[in-house]
Structure 1
Amino acid sequence: MPIDPSVAVGADLGSREFAWTESDVLLYHLAIGAGSRPGDHLTPGALRYTLDGPGLQVLPSFGVVAPTFHETDPPPLDLPGCEIDLAQVVHGSQAVTLTGGPLPTAGRATVRTTLTDVWDKGKAAVIWQDSVATAPTGEELWRTRSSIFVRGEGGWGGDRGSSEPVTLPDRAPDADATYAVTPQQALLYRLCGDRNPLHADPDFAKAAGFPSPILHGLCSYGIVLRTLTDELLDGDATQVAGFAAKFAGVVFPGETIRTRGWREDGRVVASATIAGGDRDGAPVLGDVALDLA
């Protein structure tokens, strides 16, 4: 069996030290579309993402990519007990929780990752990882939890897992905004450390069952967080304590993402879909929840 849960679950993937600078933060924000609208790059709101100096803030989603930001190889999949093909893997879900306050614009940290679960979905497997980032002083900075969806690797009779779906209110959203994904968005986002050829190489994408390269799920994740922060939190990233979402569908560069958000029970819940074109209404992110600081 390509996936052996008895080996995978609980496996310690070790730790790694990493560092980031203001330039990394600026590149990340540009890669998720900050300041991309005509004239937007001159506004104070956009400059909080795109201009270095004392006014620079960091979207919490940067914590997800910070440990691998300077990688140039495709993400490795040499996970204990898991023999899987990169072409069959898509991101399943992602969450980040800030435990040490707003992210600094530059710093050093160590991240330790553990495989925490393997679910059997019949025609696919879901592999979960938890990570904790700590400062050199030992202070915990943030936590992430993520899953990958491996097509064709289920069916061994294992636990199907459970979920807590996010219920959207039955009323008009408090925010309804769109973002036009640029044709080169995935090529720019690759510079944030994810060089999976699925997002750049047409032949690789076709071999994986897609008509053309798709946008990174984490790019959509960052776009939606930025949109909700701008539309409902006055662009103040320090109000975000955590952000979680399930990757519900693909985005092709050139499409438009529609984000709808609701203030609900002390947090923001949201949906993200494709707007316009042949795939109007197709899901992008589901179970979206933004926790407030």
Structure 2
Amino acid sequence: MNAAEWAGRDLGERTVAYDEREAILYALAVGAPATDLDLVFEERLRVLPTFALTKAQWAPDALGSLGAFDTRTAVHGSQRLEMRTPLPPAGELTMKARVARVWDKGGAAVFEVEVDSEFFLAAWSLFAPGRGGFGGERGPSAPKRPETPPARQLRLDTSPNQAALYRLLGDRHHMHIDPGAAKAAGMPRPFMHGLCTLAAVTLPLADAVGAHPAGLAELAGRFAAPVFPGDRLDLRTWDEEDAVAFEAAVNGTPVLTGGRAVFREAQPPVTR
């Protein structure tokens, strides 16, 4: 099929269940400390909004399995998430997925996969080399860095065990744990899941702007380069009218660009 013919393709519906244990494991995997009881203790549990992305990962995986692109070369280009209502501590999520758009980048195509539920709307942008050149629209360009100096500079230290923990949430691609698989994918060693890195960044962002991480309402970011477990991320943020823009780098190399987060809830006093 021509890449353009995938636009509008229905990827089906799926209902998935989860419990408090899985939501707590997720919080720990993306870097929540054990002292943040409302993220890691079932008696006070609030689910991080980005947990929804682990439950919706089946949709972009399904598109690859259908043959829309070569899964060995396609990469996760960017991610968006809009929360409609908070996730319950445990329960079921019913989701519908479709290919919302296909952009023509010349030598590659970008497939946008949307997953819709009563709790959230999420969108994956998948960059597929060799699938462009079909005469379609190029799509939006990457957001530009704000021209003003950053409002703050933050630091995030990832854990050497972070990718191994995050794999337990469902994305068990071998390149995130097996050195041989990572080298076959062109990486020197196992690397972090992009969604893990993006979610981890929301924790210091929330703290810096006086918000609660479970109050995340919108999130967007582009994956510019891999992050390896144990890397230190240097974050720069800019305050916008109703959001915080951000980017992250490792040793000066951008790894997340075009980031934007909206928090709807102030941080209450911490009970520990």
| Residue 183 (str. 1) matches residue 160 (str. 2) | yes
Q: Which AA in structure 2 matches 1:24?
A: E
Shift, 1:198, TM fit: 2.2
Identical-residue share of aligned pairs (%): 37
Tell me how far apart the structure 2 counterparts of residues 48 and 8 of structure 1 sit (CA, whole Å).
42
Q: Secondary structure, in 3 states, of the residue corresponding to 1:160?
A: coil
Q: Secondary structure, in 3 states, of the residue corresponding to 2:136?
A: coil
Pick closer, same or farther for the CA change 1:12–1:169 going to 2, 3 Å.
same
- 1:53 corresponds to: 43
Matches within 5 A, 1:249-264: 249-264=225-240
| Residue 90 (str. 1) matches residue 75 (str. 2) | yes
Pick closer, same or farther for the CA change 1:155–1:7 going to 2, 3 Å.
closer
Q: Which AA in structure 2 matches 1:260?
A: R
Give the one of 143, 151, 156 matched to 2:121: 143
- 2:192 corresponds to: 215
Shift, 1:17, TM fit: 0.5
Tell me how far apart the structure 2 counterparts of residues 80 and 130 of structure 1 sit (CA, whole Å).
16
Matches within 5 A, 1:21-100: 21-35=19-33, 41-42=34-35, 46-54=36-44, 56-67=45-56, 75-78=61-64, 80=66, 82=68, 84-100=69-85
Pick closer, same or farther for the CA change 1:214–1:182 going to 2, 3 Å.
same
Tell me how far apart the structure 1 counterparts of residues 81 and 139 of structure 2 sit (CA, whole Å).
20
- 1:281 corresponds to: 252
Across the aligned residues of Structure 1 and Structure 2, the Cα RMSD in angstroms comes to 2.2
Shift, 1:76, TM fit: 4.6
Tell me how far apart the structure 1 counterparts of residues 178 and 214 of structure 2 sit (CA, whole Å).
37
Matches within 5 A, 1:192-207: 192-207=169-184
- 2:104 corresponds to: 120
Pick closer, same or farther for the CA change 1:78–1:172 going to 2, 3 Å.
closer
| Residue 154 (str. 1) matches residue 154 (str. 2) | no
Greater CA drift, 13-22 or 224-233? 224-233
Tell me how far apart the structure 1 counterparts of residues 139 and 216 of structure 2 sit (CA, whole Å).
28
Q: TM-score scaled to structure 2, two decimals?
A: 0.88
Tell me how far apart the structure 1 counterparts of residues 128 and 174 of structure 2 sit (CA, whole Å).
16
Q: Secondary structure, in 3 states, of the residue corresponding to 1:126?
A: strand
Shift, 1:208, TM fit: 2.1
Please say if residues 11 and 62 of structure 2, whose CA atoms lie closer than 8 Å, have aligned partners that are also in contact: no
Shift, 1:58, TM fit: 1.9
Stretches of structure 1 that go unaligned for 5 or more consecutive residues are 36-40, 134-139, 275-279
Please say if residues 61 and 225 of structure 1, whose CA atoms lie closer than 8 Å, have aligned partners that are also in contact: no
Q: TM-score scaled to structure 1, two decimals?
A: 0.82
Give the one of 132, 147, 150 matched to 2:116: 132
Tell me how far apart the structure 2 counterparts of residues 22 and 169 of structure 1 sit (CA, whole Å).
43
Please say if residues 87 and 198 of structure 1, whose CA atoms lie closer than 8 Å, have aligned partners that are also in contact: no
Greater CA drift, 119-128 or 153-162? 153-162
Tell me how far apart the structure 1 counterparts of residues 193 and 161 of structure 2 sit (CA, whole Å).
12
Shift, 1:63, TM fit: 1.3
Please say if residues 7 and 81 of structure 1, whose CA atoms lie closer than 8 Å, have aligned partners that are also in contact: no
Please say if residues 8 and 118 of structure 1, whose CA atoms lie closer than 8 Å, have aligned partners that are also in contact: yes
Please say if residues 245 and 287 of structure 1, whose CA atoms lie closer than 8 Å, have aligned partners that are also in contact: yes
Pick closer, same or farther for the CA change 1:78–1:150 going to 2, 3 Å.
closer
Shift, 1:75, TM fit: 4.2
Please say if residues 8 and 79 of structure 1, whose CA atoms lie closer than 8 Å, have aligned partners that are also in contact: no
Tell me how far apart the structure 2 counterparts of residues 142 and 238 of structure 1 sit (CA, whole Å).
14
Tell me how far apart the structure 2 counterparts of residues 201 and 153 of structure 1 sit (CA, whole Å).
29
Q: Secondary structure, in 3 states, of the residue corresponding to 1:65?
A: helix
| Residue 265 (str. 1) matches residue 255 (str. 2) | no
Tell me how far apart the structure 2 counterparts of residues 172 and 32 of structure 1 sit (CA, whole Å).
25
Partner deviation per Cα, 1:59-87 (whole Å, 9 max, x = no partner): 2111111245xx8xx945545561x3322
